[in-house]
């Protein structure tokens, strides 16, 4: 069985969404300083790197990330090549696909050391098409699935967004997705490890 890691490594200095906290990873105890073990402290925003959005991210009083259904985050998925994240990409989702990961030109943005001025993301109209087509999970290859309306449409309909996927080494087609966000109680999102398997 082939296992493809589609998670973005987390490290200090990595690109984060503008306004989000920077990543800090520091040694609190060190063997070289005489401690019996190494112990590190991690400080980061919950929407850093590969992460999952919870409904409360855009809907006040809605569910936190610990309540997301794991059956939606794990199962058969389609990786779809999309030259842009727009209505036509949403309409092109294969019939019956419940989990869809979109590989767009955004994939190449991971090579940058700064957040770009422009990137592909869905708008509200495209998000409504995804909901109408019965999609339960949408994954994208950069740090936001869409604008404010797109988030509200998707999260309001119970669609789970995975943001920050690294799909550079992934060919379009069918896979099994395995994605487990940290169960941060009441949180609007959580970092996740996401992999695809095939064969």
Q: Beta-strand (E) ranges in the chain?
A: 2-5, 24-29, 39-43, 51-53, 74-81, 99-103, 137-140, 160-163, 173-181, 189-198
Asked whether the predicted pLDDT for residue 59 surpasses 90, the reply is: yes
At 70 the three-state DSSP class reads helix
- Could you tell me the residue ranges of all domains in the chain? 2-10+46-198
Task: Give the pLDDT band of residue 64 (cuts 50, 70, 90).
Answer: very high
pLDDT digits (tens, 9 = 90+) for 132-157: 999 999 999 999 999 999 999 999 99
Active-site residue identified among 47, 57, 151, 178: 57
Distances in Å between the Cα of 76 and the Cα atoms of 71, 92, 132 are 10, 17, 19
Mean pLDDT of the chain: 97
pLDDT of 195 over the 90 cut: yes
Mean pLDDT of 96-100: 98
Q: Is the pLDDT of residue 199 over 90?
A: no
pTM of the model: 0.96
Q: State yes or no: is 57 an active-site residue.
A: yes
Q: What is the CATH number of domain 2-10+46-198?
A: 3.50.30.50
Here the tokens at position 152 are: 């509200």
Q: Work out the widest C-alpha separation in the chain, in whole angstroms.
A: 60
Cβ(155)–Cβ(58) under 8 Å? yes
């Amino acid at each position: 069985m082939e296992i493809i890691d589609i998670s973005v490594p987390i490290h200090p200095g990595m690109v984060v969404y503008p306004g989000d906290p920077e990543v800090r990873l520091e040694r609190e105890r060190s063997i070289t300083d005489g401690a019996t073990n190494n112990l590190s402290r991690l400080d980061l925003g919950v929407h850093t790197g590969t992460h999952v959005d919870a409904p409360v991210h855009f809907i006040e009083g809605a569910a936190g990330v610990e309540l997301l259904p794991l059956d939606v985050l794990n199962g058969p998925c389609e990786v779809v090549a999309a030259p842009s994240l727009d209505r036509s990409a949403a309409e092109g989702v294969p019939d019956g696909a419940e989990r869809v990961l979109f590989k767009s030109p955004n994939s190449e943005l991971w090579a940058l050391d700064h957040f770009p001025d422009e990137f592909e993301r869905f708008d509200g109209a495209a998000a409504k098409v995804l909901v109408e087509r019965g999609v339960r999970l949408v994954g994208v290859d950069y740090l936001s699935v869409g604008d404010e309306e797109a988030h509200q449409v998707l999260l309001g309909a119970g669609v789970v967004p995975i943001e920050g996927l690294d799909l550079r080494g992934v060919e379009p087609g069918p896979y099994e997705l395995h994605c487990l966000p940290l169960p941060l109680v009441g949180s609007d999102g959580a970092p996740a490890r996401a992999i695809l398997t095939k064969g």
